[in-house]
Structure 1
Amino acid sequence: MRITFINVGYGDAILFQGENGYTALLDGGGNLEEEFAGNCFRIRAVDYLQKQGITHLNDVIISHIHEDHVCGLEEILRLIPTDHLYVSYFLEPFSSARPLTPGPQAPRSVVLYTKALNAYCRILKQRMQSGQAIHVLKAGEQLPLTEGLTATILGPKPASIQHYLRRIEQVFKSESEEEVTRLLGELDATSNHTSLLIKFETAGLSLLAAADNCPREWGDVPIDLFKNVNVLKLPHHGQKDAVSEQYMQIMPLEIVVTTSASDRRYHSANPEVYERLLAMHQGSAPLRFLFTDEREYPPYFSQPEGFQATTLVVDSGKIVPEFIKI
Structure 2
Amino acid sequence: MMRRVVIGTAAVSMALTMAACGKAGGSSSNSASSGDNKTIGLLLPENSSSVRYESFDKPLIEAKVKSLCADCTVKYNNANGDATTQKQQFDTLVSQGVKVIMLDPVNATGTASWVTDAQKKGVKVIAYDRLAAGPVSAYISFDNEKVGELQGQALVKALGANAKSANVVMINGDDNDPNAGQFKAGAHKVLDGAVGKIVYEQSGEWKPTVASQKMGAAITSLGKTGFQAVYSANDGMAAAIITALKAQGISVPVGGQDAASDAIQRILTGDQAYTIYKAYKPEAEGAATIAVNLLHNVDVTSVATATTASDGTNVPSLLLTPVVVTKDNIKDTVIADGLYKVSDICTAQYAQACQDAHLQ
TM-score normalised by L of structure 1: 0.30
Task: Flag the structure with higher helix content.
Answer: 2
Q: Answer 1 or 2: higher relative contact order, Cα 8 Å, separation at least 6.
A: 2
Task: Flag the structure with higher strand content.
Answer: 1
Q: Which has the larger radius of gyration?
A: 2
TM-score normalised by L of structure 2: 0.28
